[in-house]
Amino acid sequence: MTTRFTEAIEDRSARGIAAAVGRMITRGDLTIGTRLPTVRELSKSLGVSPTTVSEAWQTLTAVGAIDARGRQGTFVRQPTGPGSPRRYRRVTEGPGHFALDLSTGTPPSSLLPDLGPAVAKVSRQSLTSSYLDHPVLPQLEARLIDGWPFRAEALTVVDGAMDALDRVAQIVVRLGDRVVVEHPTFPPLLDLLDELGAEVIGVDLDDEGPIVAQFIAALHRQPVAVFLQPRAHNPTGVTTTAQRVALLAAALANTSAIVIEDDHSGDIATGALVSTGSWLPERTVHIRSYSKSHGPDLRLAAVGGAGDVVNAVANRRLLGPGWSSRILQAVLLEMLDDPATIATVAAAGAEYARRRQLVANVLESHGVGVTGSDGINLWMTVADERSALVTLAAQGIGAAPGEPFQVRDDSPHLRVTVGLIDSDHERIAGQLAVAAGESRSPRGHR
């Protein structure tokens, strides 16, 4: 019985065993109700310790893929997912309230455009809508298509970037599938992929984007999907250059992987947007969020690109919410074309860049490593995450631990939402430098 398992399992770590068995379930090689080998049988066959197999079984149990029934044995069941956003909770459940909470990753209300004029205009319109109407307002759809980074085969609107990632991942990813993400990346995405039982492959970033050699090596493992943040990457602030995107697209050309791009910062990003859809439009799904630029509570994001994926998302929504509020869509449409709003968003982007640079300059002068140059967040190296967080908390400052953002164990970091620092940048940056545990006299004053 164990022969087909030993043939299918190449990576004999606990994670590799769980992923391989997950793929066997997804392909139908192991049908629901199939009895699995015992831990002792499989460990002997694979040449690994029983503890390793036991850990793999625990992983599969956590996503609901297998069911241990005591002496009867362990059986394949319909996966249900673990249902616990472990990483996301580590970011959001801090030790308490802070005078300055830089852990949130959200924009300050002072730099968001005023919704009042747009809401007033929409309130004078006819808001009567039918369940049979198109999910996307025709005028908004035309506006979005006109500004899309490539020719989209289909386009729809959902309730924010994470809703988009969730719905696209549900269509594309199955239990045991391999997927590529940037390392580090957004914790809720990692929670989502854990929920689906995917095997996640992390690719490091440099100042120009995902490192090409690592990206190519990851593609050799035949992932079904690649998740990218093309600009103002969260948490690192890296914007992928046009030259780097071209190299990534060339590497993807000979694969069947779907590319999912999360442009979560939208118009407040100062870096130029370059999409793999310019080369691979039939295999790219681009997500454009308006939460950070126009208002988090608008809860709107556009999803456009590969027709089979986007249409599947739209069709699946018909069995649930059906559509995102057309009233909010109408508000967004007014804002996208309003000169005052356009100016406010552009000014906010410039201000975020200024605030980020001010803090980065101080940190770098104290020898603290930072990455990227775009967006509202900053990724800083620290000697020890826990100690850094405690030191900052004593000063009334909150920050996000780096571990939840990481695909694999790496050097300790903090993510700091520097876009929230509206004054006293040098003092606050100095406190961040001290917390990093690497503070020393500024360059030129040693």
Q: What is the CATH number of the domain that holds 328?
A: 3.40.640.10
Which residues of the chain carry a pLDDT beneath 70?
1, 78-84, 92-96, 126-130, 438-446
Query: pLDDT tens, 184-217?
Result: 999 999 999 988 989 999 999 999 999 999 999 9
Residues 347 and 318 both lie in one domain? no
Q: Helix 138-146 to helix 326-337 angle, to the nearest 10 degrees?
A: 40
In a domain, 43, yes or no: yes
Q: 60 with 121, same domain?
A: no
Angle at 146 between CA 237 and CA 338, to 5 degrees: 75
Give the integer Cα–Cα distance in Å for 131 and 318. 10
> Where is 397: in which H helix or E strand?
strand 397-398
- Same domain as 91, residue 148: no
Task: Classify burial at 367, counting beta carbons within 10 Å of its beta carbon; exposed 0-12, middle 13-18, buried 19 or more.
Answer: middle
Q: Does residue 443 belong to any structural domain of this protein?
A: no
What SS3 class is residue 272?
A: coil
Number of residues that make up the chain: 446
Please report the pLDDT score of residue 80 as a whole number: 61
Both 144 and 90 in one domain: the answer is no
The reply to whether 444 falls in a domain is no
Q: Closest Cα partner for 302 from 173, 170, 179, 143?
A: 143
For 173-190, b/e burial (b = at least 16 CB within 10 A) is bbbbbbbbbbbbbbbbbb
User: Which residues contact residue 53 at a Cβ distance below 8 angstroms, ignoring those fewer than 6 apart?
Assistant: 14, 17, 39, 42, 43, 46
Strand segments, DSSP code E, in 13-148 are 66-68, 74-76, 100-101
* Structural domain includes residue 441: no
Which of 147-164 are b and which e, b meaning 16 or more Cβ less than 10 Å from the residue's Cβ?
ebbbebbbbbbbbbbbbb
Query: Do 294 and 345 meet the contact criterion of CB atoms below 8 Å apart?
Result: yes
Residue 175 shares a structural domain with residue 306:
yes
Q: Tell me the residue range of the domain where 19 lies.
A: 3-76
Angle between helix axes 242-252 and 212-219 (nearest 10 degrees) is: 20
- In the listed set 337, 357, 374, which residue is the last one of a domain according to the structure? 337
Query: Which residues are within 8 A (CB) of 237 and not within 5 positions of it... i.e. 6 or more apart?
Result: 356, 370, 371, 372, 373, 374, 375, 377, 378, 379
Q: How far apart are the C-alpha atoms of 198 and 169, rounded to whole Å?
A: 10
Instruction: Select from 295, 314, 337 the last residue of a domain.
Output: 337
Question: What is the Cα–Cα distance from 48 to 37, expressed in whole angstroms?
Answer: 14
SS3 218: helix
pLDDT at 439: 42
Q: What are phi and psi of 33, to 5 degrees?
A: 100, -10
Q: What pLDDT score does 93 carry?
A: 64
Q: CB–CB of 155/303 below 8 Å?
A: yes
Rounded distance between C-alpha atoms, residue 190 and residue 87, angstroms: 7
Q: ω into residue 79 within 30 of 0, thus cis? A: no
Work out whether the CA dihedral 340, 344, 350, 351 comes out positive or negative: positive
Judge whether 445 lies within some domain: no
The structure's pTM equals 0.85
Whether residues 364 and 322 fall in one domain: no
User: Cα(214)–Cα(6) distance, rounded to whole angstroms?
Assistant: 27
Query: How many domains does the chain contain in total?
Result: 3
Which phi and psi (to 5°) does residue 74 adopt? -115, 135
CATH number for the domain spanning 391: value is 3.90.1150.10
Residue where a domain stops, chosen among 297, 319, 337? 337
Retrieve residue 118's tokens: 């747009």
